[in-house]
Amino acid sequence: MRSTVYTEWTKLRTVPSSAWLLIGTVVSTVALGSLITASVNTDFCPSPVECFEDTPKLSLTGVYLGQLTVVVLAVLAMTNEYGTRMIQTTLSLAPRRYRVLSAKAIVVTAVVLVAATVGVLGSLLVGRLILPRNGFTPLHGYPPLSLGDGPTLRAAAGTVLYFGLIALLSLGVGAIVRDTAGAITTVVSLLYVLPIVAQFVPDPDVRKFLLEYAPMSAGLTIQVTVGVDLLPMRPWAGIGVLACWASAAMIAGFALFRYRDA
Amino acid sequence: MEATIEVNGLRKRYGRTVAVDGLSFTVQPGQVTGFVGPNGAGKSTTMRVILGLDAPDEGTALVGGQPYRMLRVPLCHVGALLDAGAIHPGRRARDHLLWMAHSNGIATARINEVIEMVGLTSAARRRAGGYSLGMRQRLGIAGALLGDPPVLMFDEPVNGLDPEGIRWIRGLLRSLAAEGRAVLVSSHLMSELQDTADHLVVIGRGRLIADTTVAALVAAASGDRVVLRTAHRTEAMTALASAGATVAATDREAVTVTGLPAERIAAVLGERGLSFSELAAHRATLEEAYMELTRDAVEFNSPTVRAEANNE
Amino acid sequence: MSDRFGHLVRAEWTKFRSVRRWVLGLLIAIGLTVVLSTLFASVGGTDANSAPAVADRFHFVHQPMTGDGSVVARVSGQEPSHDWAKAGVMIKQSTASGSPYAAILVTPRNGVRFQADFRTDIGGSGRTAPLWLKLTRSGTTITGYESADGTTWTEVGSVSLSLPQTVEAGMFVASPEIVEIQRQFGGTSIGGRPTLGRATFDNASVSGGEPAKWQHEDIGASMFTSDETGATESGGTFTVSGSGEIIRLQQGDDDLIFNSFTGVVFGLMAVIVVAVLFITSEFKRGMIRTTFAASPRRGRVLVAKALVIGLVTFVAGLAATAGAFLLSQPQFRANGYRPPAYPYVHLFDGVVMRAVVGGALFLALLAVLSLGIGAILRRSAGAIALLIAIFIVPQILFGGLPLNVALWVGRVTPVAGLAIMQTTKRWDTAIDPWPGLGVLAGYAALAMGVAIWQVRRRDA
């Protein structure tokens, strides 16, 4: 197993796109987070105190963009092998397929977690610098962002976890779909399009279910620090829902990878 | 249009790697020119430059006296098979040829002709994704023949073909040349070209090693060696050495003699009363000649060899 | 020359139609657009037709007037509570809200207006208070005048109104709501905040019929308490405070034409994928070499490719938008979107045609942009992800953004192209239709320009 992990690590490391995608994750997460944070101030609030702005969540908005590169990275880890028929070499080197997919999952998740940690910490740091200038001052009830604050720490750690689970979800879909464009479209539809389409489902129960249990909306409840009581589910339950999505994709991926011809 | 390819002082580098280094040669009409060199010698790069796909850093590559990029209906001037895998797997073979025909305004009736020529008639309506390597190779050749061009270039055309296919392509190359076309065929195996090529351009590490006819190359490699087979090896060697020849034992009964013509050897042995079972002028194979040439190239230019291999 | 370009276009068309997945992809784009648009149209509804047709709220200081006569007053001062705050004289059938009226009035920023019956609105001079205003009634004709000094009168407009013999005449003050954007809990809401107008009048008189005592009251329900609205008189000077608006309400501001195409947002994903693959698949398999060997003028190849993917997508887009429109409208009607608030619209109405054809143009330009980005990046994964980041992520984030930032994004990014399908202008309108499409066209042209420059420069 160790050698398979090492093999997958070498494969990932030696493709230049991996490094670029991970840098892209960090940059896009921090950049979008800073832009959005910088664009929000207390001007339109009834009063700064009555803004009830969720500043940790606001600073971490970049996840909406940053996860895209994670999707691409994780999908490519699987589909690239089919695109170049390298899968045949891979499987002749390591015939026990579950090991190959497990090793990929370990390696991809590990590098994504590293990049996500950098991106999340960067976003919080930028938020800490920008927010007070936009009126979110301690005086108005917004202490500087700090990991010492329980909910903020949960939002930050949870967002890192969210990135990791998105990677697993994408890897699983990549193993199922096997085609780059198809897999990326599938994951993106699941993340971004499902919640939008769900709003228009006529049956209210189905609509509520889809809106709450869509992978992105459920997973990102982990970022909420204001009005947690109003959430349809607890933050940790939300990320648990995403974990279920990721597991389902990985299990299906394992099964298909195991029983399908390469 | 003249059916020639003229490559003049061609130089092409990728980053710090020199792929082609001052290469010049001409491909004449009416014959098959073999373009030989080890993997990474710069054959494919040269062909890509000839086709205007890569821009040379120095030098020119002309087809019928014109740079490729000046050609308005290039498929009717040059047909090329570069990479047999370069087909969209979801497209039928016939449609692949159809878009190529459209791009140069070639009558679509020609498509059936070339499909028949390469023997793909029964598979033409299948999607290329299900093709074997040999079938892809044939489809690529069909594409090259589409414009009925006077100049043809094939990069490793026998790759993936079965023995019957190899025989077929050799015949095809010969007949194309017999029609007066200039045919350039690359290969990293000289043996593939032995019975096909009239002329050879041998390159190693981007440089020209030989530009000659097959006959001349074989003759040069054969030298004036004579193979002698005799039961009295030791005596024969002593006698011939004292007559001024260089003698080398090749096995228990055989000796290679250099420096004396066969008639002289027979006379010397006759004088000593030494009998022999065989006395023959050695004829080198093309492969041996090629190995000799490229071995030199490997020895003299080794620093660039690794980098070049990456390019192919 | 042109026939050679025709060859290239034909070759690219053959390439496109011979790959089943791409044709299927565009069919999926059509299907997604039509089905989701219809689905979205079937949800929600409107009560616009049962909502009041007019707003008629103000503070009125009045006395009865019988037969022909006139009402005159000098507006000596007006507080700028709103650009459209109104102070003036009015003749009104009764004090019932919504009853017929005619009025001449002055506003802080929009000059003198003669208005009647929620329909007539004639602009006078650009003067502000102080000034004299007069209305005369002669038979069914009511005429409004303004004057700087009370002696030289200028007619502003007249209207024919059938009113009873006895009507109410006098001074009035109104001041509309201010549209206010409010941010709370990370979301933006939009609402109206009432404003209180105040003006002073003197030299007020009503001629015709018996002189009577001035009475005053709020017409319609005021948003303010009776302490705040009202009128006081002291030495012939009236100070009147009032709030509200006298106007025909626009019934229903939903853009039913734009809302017919909500599915386009999802159809465009399929368009992006197909257009990107149309070019990146050539790079992936080295087929680009065959292409460029067959047609060495690479810029023209790319232009031919753009033309083919653009035209094909346009045709598919037309089927998608026309289908979405035709299937969505009956759904809207079933949900209460009916005349008079929502007049029926037909496919061949000018504005509908612009939206339907424009929507197809939007998808076509999107395809060209995708092709350009695909040619620059040469990788399907990167190109698709980038385009989705551009077109889908903003849709998700719009809700959480401050309105001005959201509008800015809708103006300067390629998403602006969606504006071509909108047919009304509202507070959340980012950009006008054609300029919006122009923005997208600009990005598409830029991407194609860079792509052509690159394929010429790079080795294939």
Dihedral of CA atoms B92, B95, B97, B100 in degrees, nearest 10, equals -130
pLDDT at B274: 84
Label residue C184 by pLDDT band (50, 70, 90): confident
Smallest CA–CA distance from B54 into chain C, residue: C459
* Average pLDDT, integer, range A180-206: 88
Q: Does the distance separating the beta carbons of C43 and A202 come in below 8 Å?
A: yes
Mutate one of C5, C10, C18 to test the B interface: name it (highest B CB count within 10 A): C18
DSSP-assigned beta bridge partners for residue C145:
C134, C155
pLDDT at B264: 84
A-chain residues near C262 (CB < 8 A): 200
Smallest CA–CA distance from B55 into chain C, residue: C459
Write the residue in C7, C13, C287 that is nearest to B86 by C-beta. Answer: C287
pLDDT at B193: 81
Question: Does the pLDDT of residue C419 top 50, yes or no?
Answer: yes
Question: Does the pLDDT of residue C3 top 60, yes or no?
Answer: no
Residue A83 identity: G
Contact C277/A at CB under 8 A = yes
Average pLDDT of the residues of chain B:
85
Residue A192 DSSP one-character state: I
pLDDT digit string, tens, across residues B144-178: 999 999 999 999 998 878 888 888 999 999 999 99
Question: Does the pLDDT of residue B271 top 60, yes or no?
Answer: yes
Cβ-in-10-Å burial (0-12, 13-18, 19+) of A151 comes to middle
Coil vs helix vs strand at B62: strand
Contact C178/A at CB under 8 A = no
Question: Residue C129 is encoded by which pair of tokens?
Answer: 């208070």
Smallest CA–CA distance from C269 into chain A, residue: A185
pLDDT at B214: 81
Helix (H) or strand (E) holding C27: helix C20-42
pLDDT at B12: 93
Question: Does the pLDDT of residue B310 top 50, yes or no?
Answer: no
* Average pLDDT, integer, range A101-111: 95
Residue A190 DSSP one-character state: I
The residues, ordered by sequence, that sit 6+ positions from B268 with a Cβ below 8 Å of its Cβ are: B239, B240, B243, B260
- Buried b / exposed e over A164-203, threshold 16 CB at 10 Å, is bbbbbbbbbbbbbbbbbbbbbbbbbbbbbbbbbbbebbee
The residues, ordered by sequence, that sit 6+ positions from C441 with a Cβ below 8 Å of its Cβ are: C365, C417
Residue B311 identity: N
Please give, rounded to a whole number of angstroms, the shortest distance from the CA of C185 to a CA of chain A: 5
Among A134-138, B259-263, C141-145, where is mean pLDDT lowest?
B259-263
Please give, rounded to a whole number of angstroms, the shortest distance from the CA of C242 to a CA of chain A: 25
Write the residue in C43, C182, C269 that is nearest to A200 by C-beta. Answer: C43
Classify C139 in phi/psi space as left (phi over 0), alpha (psi -120 to 50) or beta: left
CA distance A51 to A41: 9
pLDDT at B299: 43
Mutate one of A55, A188, A206 to test the C interface: name it (highest C CB count within 10 A): A188
A-chain residues near C380 (CB < 8 A): 180-181
B-chain residues near C295 (CB < 8 A): 74, 103-104
Q: Does the distance separating the beta carbons of B100 and C11 come in below 8 Å?
A: yes
Mutate one of A79, A193, A194 to test the C interface: name it (highest C CB count within 10 A): A193
CA distance C91 to C387: 61
Residue C375 Cα to chain centre, angstroms: 37
Write the residue in C282, C291, C296 that is nearest to B71 by C-beta. Answer: C296
Query: How many interchain CB pairs under 8 A, B with C?
Result: 94
The residues, ordered by sequence, that sit 6+ positions from B65 with a Cβ below 8 Å of its Cβ are: B1, B2, B4, B6
Write the residue in C39, C185, C385 that is nearest to A184 by C-beta. Answer: C385
Label residue B297 by pLDDT band (50, 70, 90): low
Q: Does the distance separating the beta carbons of C381 and A72 come in below 8 Å?
A: yes
Q: Does the distance separating the beta carbons of C186 and A200 come in below 8 Å?
A: no
Helix (H) or strand (E) holding B98: helix B93-103
Question: Does the pLDDT of residue C41 top 70, yes or no?
Answer: yes
Handedness of CA C154, C233, C118, C329 (dihedral sign): positive
Question: Does the pLDDT of residue B301 top 60, yes or no?
Answer: no
Question: Residue A179 is encoded by which pair of tokens?
Answer: 């085609």
pLDDT digit string, tens, across residues B239-251: 888 888 888 887 7
Question: Residue C196 is encoded by which pair of tokens?
Answer: 């209180």
Q: Does the distance separating the beta carbons of C15 and B91 come in below 8 Å?
A: yes
Nearest to A162 by CA among A114, A217, A219: A219
Please give, rounded to a whole number of angstroms, the shortest distance from the CA of C285 to a CA of chain B: 5
Which residue reads 């599915």 in tokens?
Answer: C263
Chain B touching partners, 3 or more CB pairs below 8 A:
C
pLDDT digit string, tens, across residues A29-54: 999 999 999 988 888 888 888 888 89
Helix (H) or strand (E) holding C180: strand C178-184
Write the residue in A45, A75, A181 that is nearest to C183 by C-beta. Answer: A45
Write the residue in C18, C289, C295 that is nearest to B103 by C-beta. Answer: C295
Please give, rounded to a whole number of angstroms, the shortest distance from the CA of C373 to a CA of chain A: 15
Contact C21/A at CB under 8 A = no
Highest mean pLDDT of the ranges B233-237, B301-305, C256-260: C256-260
H, E, C per residue of B122-191: HHCCCEHHHCCHHHHHHHHHHHHHCCCCCEEEEECCCCCCCHHHHHHHHHHHHHHHHCCCEEEEEECCHH
Write the residue in C19, C286, C297 that is nearest to B90 by C-beta. Answer: C19
Nearest to A75 by CA among A186, A161, A213: A186
Label residue A196 by pLDDT band (50, 70, 90): confident
CA distance C87 to C74: 10
Write the residue in B78, B92, B102 that is nearest to C11 by C-beta. Answer: B102
Nearest to C61 by CA among C261, C237, C215, C192: C215
Question: Does the pLDDT of residue C36 top 80, yes or no?
Answer: yes
| Residues C313/C367, Cβ–Cβ less than 8 Å | yes
| Residues C398/A39, Cβ–Cβ less than 8 Å | no
**Distant-in-sequence contacts of B235-240, Cβ < 8 A, 24+ apart:** B235/B272, B235/B274, B236/B269, B236/B272, B236/B274, B236/B276, B239/B268, B239/B269, B239/B271, B239/B272, B239/B274, B240/B265, B240/B268, B240/B269
Please give, rounded to a whole number of angstroms, the shortest distance from the CA of A59 to a CA of chain C: 12
Q: Does the distance separating the beta carbons of C459 and B99 come in below 8 Å?
A: no
Please give, rounded to a whole number of angstroms, the shortest distance from the CA of A200 to a CA of chain C: 5
Q: Does the distance separating the beta carbons of C384 and A64 come in below 8 Å?
A: no
Smallest CA–CA distance from C286 into chain B, residue: B86
Q: Please identify, in words, the CATH class of the domain defined by C54-248.
A: mainly beta
* Average pLDDT, integer, range C357-381: 96
Question: Residue A55 is encoded by which pair of tokens?
Answer: 């500043």
pLDDT at C196: 92
> What are the sequence ranges of the domains in chain C?
5-48+253-457, 54-248
Q: Does the distance separating the beta carbons of C39 and A83 come in below 8 Å?
A: no
Label residue B307 by pLDDT band (50, 70, 90): very low
pLDDT at C226: 67
pLDDT at C1: 43
Smallest CA–CA distance from C459 into chain B, residue: B54
| Residues C60/C90, Cβ–Cβ less than 8 Å | yes
DSSP-assigned beta bridge partners for residue C247:
C55
Contact C394/A at CB under 8 A = no
Please give, rounded to a whole number of angstroms, the shortest distance from the CA of A164 to a CA of chain C: 18
pLDDT at B251: 78
| Residues B253/B231, Cβ–Cβ less than 8 Å | yes
Q: Does the distance separating the beta carbons of B103 and C294 come in below 8 Å?
A: yes
Nearest to B96 by CA among C285, C5, C391: C285
Average pLDDT of the residues of chain C:
91
Write the residue in C19, C290, C295 that is nearest to B86 by C-beta. Answer: C290
Give the up-direction half-sphere exposure of residue C125: CA atoms within 13 A in the CB hemisphere: 14
Please give, rounded to a whole number of angstroms, the shortest distance from the CA of C132 to a CA of chain A: 40
B-chain residues near C296 (CB < 8 A): 52, 68-71, 74
Instruction: Tell me what ipTM this predicted complex has.
Output: 0.89
Q: Does the distance separating the beta carbons of A181 and C385 come in below 8 Å?
A: no
Question: Does the pLDDT of residue B308 top 50, yes or no?
Answer: no
| Residues B35/B212, Cβ–Cβ less than 8 Å | no
CA distance B146 to B166: 21
| Residues B119/B138, Cβ–Cβ less than 8 Å | yes
Label residue A185 by pLDDT band (50, 70, 90): very high
Share of chain B above pLDDT 70, in %: 92
Question: Does the pLDDT of residue B311 top 50, yes or no?
Answer: no
Handedness of CA C233, C236, C241, C244 (dihedral sign): positive
DSSP-assigned beta bridge partners for residue C56:
C246
Contact A39/C at CB under 8 A = yes
The residues, ordered by sequence, that sit 6+ positions from A107 with a Cβ below 8 Å of its Cβ are: A5, A8, A9, A12, A77
Q: Does the distance separating the beta carbons of C42 and A202 come in below 8 Å?
A: yes
* Chain C residue set in contact with B, beta carbons under 8 Å: 3-4, 7-8, 10-15, 18-21, 281-282, 285-287, 289-297, 459-460
Nearest to C64 by CA among C144, C191, C163, C182: C163
pLDDT at C78: 95
Label residue C12 by pLDDT band (50, 70, 90): very high
Among A21-30, B48-57, B243-252, C145-154, where is mean pLDDT lowest?
B243-252
pLDDT at C294: 92
C-chain residues near A82 (CB < 8 A): none
Write the residue in A44, A57, A65 that is nearest to C183 by C-beta. Answer: A44
Smallest CA–CA distance from C23 into chain B, residue: B90
| Residues C324/C346, Cβ–Cβ less than 8 Å | no
| Residues C180/C193, Cβ–Cβ less than 8 Å | yes
Question: Residue C174 is encoded by which pair of tokens?
Answer: 């109104």
Q: Does the distance separating the beta carbons of A52 and C381 come in below 8 Å?
A: no
CA distance A87 to A96: 13
Please give, rounded to a whole number of angstroms, the shortest distance from the CA of C138 to a CA of chain A: 51
Residue A90 Cα to chain centre, angstroms: 27
Residue A35 Cα to chain centre, angstroms: 19
pLDDT digit string, tens, across residues A223-259: 999 888 888 889 999 999 999 999 999 999 999 998 8
CA distance A191 to A215: 6
Coil vs helix vs strand at B282: coil
C-chain residues near A62 (CB < 8 A): none
Give the up-direction half-sphere exposure of residue C224: CA atoms within 13 A in the CB hemisphere: 25
CA distance C86 to B290: 102
